[in-house]
Amino acid sequence: MDIDVKNALNKLLSDYDSGIIKDDKTATDMLAKDIYNYISSISLSGSDERFNYFSKVYLGGKYKAEDFAEIDHLEPVKSLELLGKTLVSDKKIGGRKAKKDLAALFTALGRSYITNPFDKKYVDLSRSIDYINSMNSLIDADISETIERKTVADASGLTQQVKEKQESGDVTSDVVQDENAEPEESLEELLEQLDSLIGLQGVKKQVKDIINIIRVRKKGEEFGQKQSPLSLHLVFYGNPGTGKTTVARLLGKIYKRLGVLSVGQLVEVDRSGLVVGFVGQTATKTSEVIAKAMGGILFIDEAYTLTHNKGSNDFGQEAVDTILKAMEDYRDDLIVIVAGYPEEMKEFISSNPGLKSRFNQYIEFDDYSPTELYDIFCIRCHEEGLLFGDECKDYLINYFESLYKNKQKDFANGRTVRNYFEKVKIARANRLACGDLDTLSREEFFTITMDDLKEAEKNTKTI
């Protein structure tokens, strides 16, 4: 039993039980039919056995493959159609959650098959991804149509009872968002988060340039303007700890808000998560990672390590070839960001004509200045309610200036600050524990002293 599939199924069935769906028996029958349809569509062989096993493990053996042998495998998702017709609710529309939960079940099931050693050889990754993408498109269209119908109905006076409640203050809108759905941040809120990051002025400008290009293209499409292809795959280059992962995660959310990506999640991986030391297995492992990243961003840290070793027993190039194919096949709902040191990334991009043609936007992440390093340290202190004692500020500024002046090639920027901060916390804890904790005042407890900073600096020094 796959726990992710089981949890997704239970979540969907709880929608039935909670009254979101009127006829749970019919819905369950159609769901089983759709699962059979899905398994048949993606299986290269053994689809009936695969479905019967699913029914036995997850549905109590209620359904058999022969029950659905005559169905058309190209028909739309019938349980989704039923959701649109039988949704009920007291004062809210629960359909959005139910439809999302339905898509989540199919996604979890697909991932289960392509990662299971007994199934992955007999299922088609491309078909699975295409099927889930088609389902998400149907869901997005259906949700938009439902909201539009409700709005029109409200305007034409067909929901007078709800209007009266609105006027009395009982409800604020006829179309009420699902209570359980997490509110998504607006584009403005996401841009504020980007602006709030320490430093990275050049990065912020380039990201906003990309956002503006996308927004203008969207408007051009509304006016029927012919658009040339736009590659949103990116190269992030710079030393460690400069916020590359943080910016990539924000970009995923921003791209979703702009309609570029369907999900907007970030899947972070390095060479060890892609390459296996046996012929043929690297492509399979890389394909599994790509499947998880579909609808979002695949972020490959230290990407140059995939091609750095040119030996005959290295399979990094196999991972690169698989990624390049996915970038072409799924360019409408997958963005790849490769990251690493500047010189090494130049070598990486130059190693393959396919990389050069697909990555044409480069964003440089500069090292943080001493003042920015100090600001990062202050933010960490603020997050934990810690205060500075006398002369600590001057000491820290001098410390980070010296650190910056003597930095090596692998200077870790924000990670260096984080490591130093952890050493300071250890020094503070040791100092406090040696005294009488019961007699400490609140201010004494939360204050960092010069002794803490000096002790942390001593323990931070490396060979």
Do 101 and 149 share a structural domain? yes
Highest-confidence segment of 145-149, 177-181, 351-355: 351-355
pTM of the predicted model as reported, rounded to 2 decimal places? 0.62
Do 334 and 262 share a structural domain? yes
Name the pLDDT band for 276 (thresholds 50, 70, 90). confident
Of the candidates 150, 109, 152, the one whose C-alpha atom is nearest the C-alpha of residue 128 is 109
Domain assignment of residue 162, yes or no? yes
Do 285 and 263 share a structural domain? yes
Please determine, for residue 87, whether its predicted confidence score (pLDDT) is greater than 70.
Answer: no
Q: How many domains does the chain have?
A: 3
Name the pLDDT band for 111 (thresholds 50, 70, 90). confident
Please determine, for residue 154, whether its predicted confidence score (pLDDT) is greater than 60.
Answer: no
Q: Among 10-19, 149-158, 294-303, 337-346, where is mean pLDDT lowest?
A: 149-158
Domain assignment of residue 173, yes or no? no
Do 157 and 16 share a structural domain? yes
Give the CATH number of the domain where residue 349 resides: 3.40.50.300
Do 324 and 235 share a structural domain? yes
Domain residue limits at 231: 187-364
Domain assignment of residue 175, yes or no? no
Question: Which of the pair, 154 or 190, is modelled with greater confidence?
Answer: 190
Domain assignment of residue 181, yes or no? no
Of the candidates 34, 35, 110, the one whose C-alpha atom is nearest the C-alpha of residue 75 is 34
Do 339 and 232 share a structural domain? yes
CA–CA separation, 243 and 302 (whole Å):
14
- What pLDDT was estimated at residue 435? 85
Q: Among 47-51, 78-82, 143-147, where is mean pLDDT lowest?
A: 143-147
Do 330 and 435 share a structural domain? no
Please determine, for residue 199, whether its predicted confidence score (pLDDT) is greater than 80.
Answer: yes
Question: Which of the pair, 133 or 198, is modelled with greater confidence?
Answer: 198
Please determine, for residue 250, whether its predicted confidence score (pLDDT) is greater than 80.
Answer: yes
SS (H, E, C) the chain: CCHHHHHHHHHHHHHHHCCCECCHHHHHHHHHHHHHHHHHHHECCCHHHHHHHHHHHHCCCCCCHHHHCCCCCCCCCHHHHHHHHHECCCCCCCHHHHHHHHHHHHHHHHHHHHHCCCCHHHECHHHHHHHHHHHHHHHHHHHHHHHHHHHHHHHCCCCHHHHHHHHHCCCCCCCCCCCCCCCCCCHHHHHHHHHHCCCCHHHHHHHHHHHHHHHHHHHHHHCCCCCCCCCCCEEEEECCCCCHHHHHHHHHHHHHHCCCCCCCCEEEECHHHCCCCCCCHHHHHHHHHHHHHCCCEEEEECCCHHHHCCCCCCCHHHHHHHHHHHHHHCCCCCEEEEEECHHHHHHHHHCCHHHHHHCCCEEEECCCCHHHHHHHHHHHHHHCCCEECCCHHHHHHHHHHHHHHCCCCCCCCHHHHHHHHHHHHHHHHHHHHHCCHHHCCHHHHHEECHHHHHHHHHHHCCC
Do 276 and 200 share a structural domain? yes
Q: What is the pLDDT of residues 327-354, one digit of tens each?
A: 888 888 899 999 998 889 998 898 888 8
The answer to whether residues 367 and 203 touch, using CB atoms and an 8 Å cutoff, is no
Domain assignment of residue 412, yes or no? yes
- What pLDDT was estimated at residue 309? 65
Q: What is the pLDDT of residues 407-457, one digit of tens each?
A: 877 688 999 999 999 999 999 999 999 888 888 888 989 999 999 999 999
Domain assignment of residue 178, yes or no? no
Counting Cβ atoms within 10 Å, is residue 241 exposed (0-12), middle (13-18) or buried (19+)? Answer: buried
Q: Identify the domain boundary among 101, 133, 168.
A: 168
Of the candidates 105, 130, 120, 112, the one whose C-alpha atom is nearest the C-alpha of residue 46 is 120
Do 191 and 95 share a structural domain? no
Average confidence (pLDDT) over 14-35: 66
Q: Identify the domain boundary among 117, 135, 168.
A: 168
- What pLDDT was estimated at residue 428? 94
Question: Which of the pair, 175 or 119, is modelled with greater confidence?
Answer: 119
Q: What is the pLDDT of residues 46-63, one digit of tens each?
A: 888 888 888 888 888 888
Give the CATH number of the domain where residue 403 resides: 1.10.8.60
Domain assignment of residue 174, yes or no? no
For the chain, the average pLDDT equals 78
CA–CA separation, 2 and 29 (whole Å):
21
Of the candidates 250, 266, 249, the one whose C-alpha atom is nearest the C-alpha of residue 194 is 250
- What pLDDT was estimated at residue 168? 46
Do 191 and 153 share a structural domain? no
Q: What is the pLDDT of residues 389-402, one digit of tens each?
A: 888 999 999 999 99
Do 331 and 393 share a structural domain? no
Do 198 and 157 share a structural domain? no
Q: Identify the domain boundary among 168, 197, 218.
A: 168
CA–CA separation, 35 and 311 (whole Å):
44
Domain assignment of residue 245, yes or no? yes
